């Protein structure tokens, strides 16, 4: 058996690009590293409204705009008002019970974007690291939901039993897989994950290929039995938060900081769109974004969505 070393980073699915599409996709990957200010161009900024023709994205790329809203624990808007504007039945009924039992709350915004949410998305203090991520259909990216916790204990409900975990240097995340569907929508699969500070040997054997793979990711616990799926149309907003009545669950720990002086709760806001295969769509192109000193962030898109919704007859 011949042993070879392969370097692998499984935490970023944005790197899975075919050679034929690399030239079109590679510049875009850098846009996912920032938020409202993605690239600081040393040359004179060009407004993305003054657009020039630019190469289209690969047809298999999903644009995923994400933002994390942070508010004081017990915030009335995040716990009550927001959910009067959402459809919480978007999760399949067979998975909804598992999702709720583990402390997650998932909903799709109905109608225009609520004014309260637009205000939070525009607030530098409330809106944490808004960014656009470019994901190949069928691949996953990791969405971090908060900072490291020195030590945390939580309960996971799966397969009709409850199991308690105590982890050190824990960082709660969601692995998000985006799949383009034939009817023009995007199916999103969410799998809870907790990265830890556990010591792990960096080389993993791969018997099928007779190789050793070097894994540069942090050690983690993935809870596939708690995963769920939703299907959204382009431009629709999805919100994910915690059920406050489900204390000490996986979902509650993921979004709530209820210890120490900084007692806060968070809300994940997601909006997807399918990359155009070509043509003028009226949206800023890659070239526009790369030349501008600021890219249109999620808050701007929320306002645009609200205007379009109110203008429909």
Rounded CA gap, 301 and 111, in Å?
14
Q: What is the pLDDT of residues 223-272, one digit of tens each?
A: 999 999 999 999 999 999 999 999 999 999 999 998 878 899 999 999 99
Tokens found for residue 162: 């409850």
Instruction: Give me the mean pLDDT over the 88-105 stretch.
Output: 96
Range in 125-129, 232-236, 305-309 with the lowest mean pLDDT: 305-309
Question: Which band of pLDDT confidence, cut at 50, 70 and 90, is reported for residue 140?
Answer: very high
Residue 57: what pLDDT?
64
Chain-centre distance for alpha carbon 82: 19
Q: What is the pLDDT of residues 167-205, one digit of tens each?
A: 999 999 999 999 999 999 999 999 999 999 765 555 556
pTM score: 0.70
Res 215 pLDDT > 60: no
On average, the pLDDT of the chain sits at: 76
Domain ranges of the chain: 61-310
Is the CB of residue 195 less than 8 Å from the CB of residue 175? no
The torsion angle over the Cα atoms of residues 295, 106, 275 and 37, rounded to 10 degrees, is 10
Please report, rounded to a whole number, the percentage of residues in the chain having pLDDT higher than 90.
52
Residue 275: what pLDDT?
66
């Amino acid at each position: 058996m011949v042993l070879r070393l392969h370097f692998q980073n499984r935490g970023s699915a944005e790197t899975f690009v075919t050679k034929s599409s690399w030239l079109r996709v590679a510049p875009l990957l850098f846009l996912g590293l920032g938020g409202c200010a993605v690239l600081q161009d040393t040359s004179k900024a060009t407004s993305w409204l003054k657009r020039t023709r630019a190469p289209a994205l690969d047809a298999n790329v999903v644009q995923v705009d994400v933002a994390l809203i942070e508010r004081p624990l017990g915030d009335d808007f995040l716990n009550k008002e927001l959910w009067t504007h959402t459809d919480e039945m978007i999760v399949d009924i067979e998975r909804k019970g598992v999702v709720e039992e583990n402390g997650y709350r998932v909903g799709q915004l109905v109608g225009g974007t609520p004014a309260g949410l637009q205000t939070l998305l525009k607030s530098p203090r409330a809106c944490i690291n808004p960014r656009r991520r470019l994901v190949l259909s069928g691949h996953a990216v990791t969405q971090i939901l908060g900072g490291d916790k020195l030590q945390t204990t939580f309960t996971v409900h799966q397969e009709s039993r409850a199991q308690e975990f105590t982890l050190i240097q824990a960082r709660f995340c969601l692995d998000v897989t985006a799949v383009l569907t034939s009817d023009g929508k995007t199916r999103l699969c969410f799998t809870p994950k907790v990265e830890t500070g556990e010591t792990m040997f960096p080389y993993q054997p791969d018997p099928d290929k007779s190789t050793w793979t070097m894994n540069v990711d942090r050690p983690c616990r993935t809870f596939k039995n708690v995963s769920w799926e939703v299907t959204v149309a382009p431009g629709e907003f999805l919100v994910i938060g915690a059920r406050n009545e489900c204390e000490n669950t996986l979902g509650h720990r993921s979004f709530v900081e209820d210890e120490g002086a900084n007692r806060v709760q968070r809300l994940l806001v997601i909006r997807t769109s399918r990359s155009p295969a070509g043509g003028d769509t009226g949206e800023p192109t890659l070239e526009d974004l790369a030349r501008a000193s600021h890219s249109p962030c999620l808050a701007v898109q929320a306002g645009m969505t609200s205007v379009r919704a109110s203008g429909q007859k």
